[in-house]
Amino acid sequence: MTASIRLLLADDQALVRGALAALLDLEPDFDVVAQVGRGDEVVEAARSSRADVALLDVEMPGADGIQAAAQLRSALPACRSLIVTTFGRPGYLRRAMEAGASGFVVKDTPSGQLADAVRRVASGLRVVDPALAAESLASGASPLTAREAEVLAEAGGGGTIGDIARRIHLSEGTVRNHLSSAIGKTGARNRSDAVAIATRQGWL
């Protein structure tokens, strides 16, 4: 008998995490060995549970699923990560793959397909939701530089130019320049519009 695939589930919604665990535990070759609700708990939980595959939500406190995937690749390369998210955004997919995730599927994927994705990731293959892959290729990479994305993300939290500058330790002029550039690159009308567009695309 082959060894079961040891799974770690990371999702900040306990109800979703429990439902996913119950669903995956029905598979004879799966064993859910750890569950966490924060991204910054993923590496330690994966290490102590000796997980083979970590199923990661994108939006979590502590660290998001994409950051957690990058941390896992660095700390425990033998543990593969599969992003399972409500937010099927092309920018998220691209960033997840760049961070070292082995797969990316949306939460409304049928259970049989999700189980198949877990097995394929465990065997060393890459799995990506096909509709999202096509959309990601069509939309291209994020036009924002890392600094523009950082400034825009801070702008999403509200406040004046001065507030943003203080939070990320830049001059007001620099913040203004980055915001202006980000607004231009996203084709937005103003700052809040740029934040909305970049968020929708998964660039932030």
What are the tens digits of pLDDT across the range 62-75?
A: 999 999 999 999 99
Same domain flag for 36 and 90: yes
The count of structural domains within the chain is 2
Containing H/E element for 105?
Answer: strand 103-106
Domain limit, last residue, from 112, 139, 166: 139
What are the tens digits of pLDDT across the range 148-186?
A: 999 999 999 888 999 999 999 999 999 999 999 999 888
Q: Distance of alpha carbon 47 from its chain centroid, rounded?
A: 20
Same domain flag for 90 and 161: no
Q: What is the pLDDT of residue 140?
A: 67
Residue 41 and residue 48: Cα distance in Å, rounded?
11
CATH of the domain at 127: 3.40.50.2300
Same domain flag for 163 and 88: no
| pTM (predicted TM-score) | 0.69
Domain that holds residue 29: 5-139
pLDDT band at 139 (very low <50, low <70, confident <90, very high): low
Read off φ and ψ for residue 118, nearest 5 degrees.
Answer: -60, -45
Same domain flag for 155 and 122: no
Structure tokens that stand for 75 in this block: 């700390």
What are the tens digits of pLDDT across the range 110-120?
A: 889 999 999 99
